[in-house]
Amino acid sequence: MPFYYYFDPTYSLVLIGLILCVLASARVRSTYAKYARVRSRSGMTGKEAAERILRGAGIYDVRVEHVGGNLTDHYDPRSKVLRLSDATYQSASVAAVGVAAHECGHAIQHTKGYAPLRIRSAIVPIANFGSAIAWPLILFGLLFNSRSSYMLIQIGIIAFSFAVLFQIVTLPVEFNASNRAVRILGESGILSADELSMTRKVLGAAALTYVAGAASAILQLLRIILLTGGRRRE
């Protein structure tokens, strides 16, 4: 029995999800590397572009800081800090400016109370907890043949569903931030029309990583349901 659960056909779903994530990650890195070599005509660095966008949006309580790593850029709503990575902070490339603007998009979402962002923030604790306890509950339910096994499996599936929900809700948040970024960069004149097309490619590639993440989570949930589908309430 244990051997079956380690080597079963449903692993193909996990493999598909893994391949999607690897391909998406490779795409974003290659696309970023390509346009990181194109200097923007404005000469603005990622830091300077972020500060200009935030001030233009009337946001004065968000700091722009440097964070180590590559493509580790993020906005922290709790401390109201926009952190830009090594590849973005001091770079004046169209890729760096686009990524900085995308993170500003999240800061603007936070300021305006963008609904999907509020929903995502609300389910973060539940999603993290659900992701941590889902598989242990499901495995206990599968390994032990008792009256409580069915209940453990169902609770595990529900717990993992919150992690999947988080991935799905993340999609509109990221797409909206990218759309805001492109619009603001164009309206402010930070990037020209041809530079905006390059930035769209960078942000589009980045969006694929979230699509792949959501698809992978859904496939894992499907695998769990297939694995436990034969177990019935006793």
Q: Six-digit token pair at 212?
A: 């792949």
Q: How many angstroms separate the CA atoms of 168 and 174, rounded?
A: 11
Q: Six-digit token pair at 196?
A: 């905006």
Residue labelled with tokens 């029309």? 193
Count CB-CB contacts under 10 A for residue 194: 10
CA distances from 114 to 95, 117, 120, 172, 189 (A): 25, 6, 10, 10, 25
Beta-bridge partner residues of 82: 64, 75
**List 48, 51, 65, 103, catalytic entry:** 103
User: By the 8 A CB rule, do 160 and 131 touch?
Assistant: yes
103 is catalytic: yes
Q: How many angstroms separate the CA atoms of 47 and 55, rounded?
A: 12
User: By the 8 A CB rule, do 205 and 99 touch?
Assistant: no
Which segments of the chain does DSSP mark as H helices, in order? 2-6, 11-35, 46-56, 86-89, 94-112, 115-143, 149-188, 193-228
Residues labelled catalytic? 103
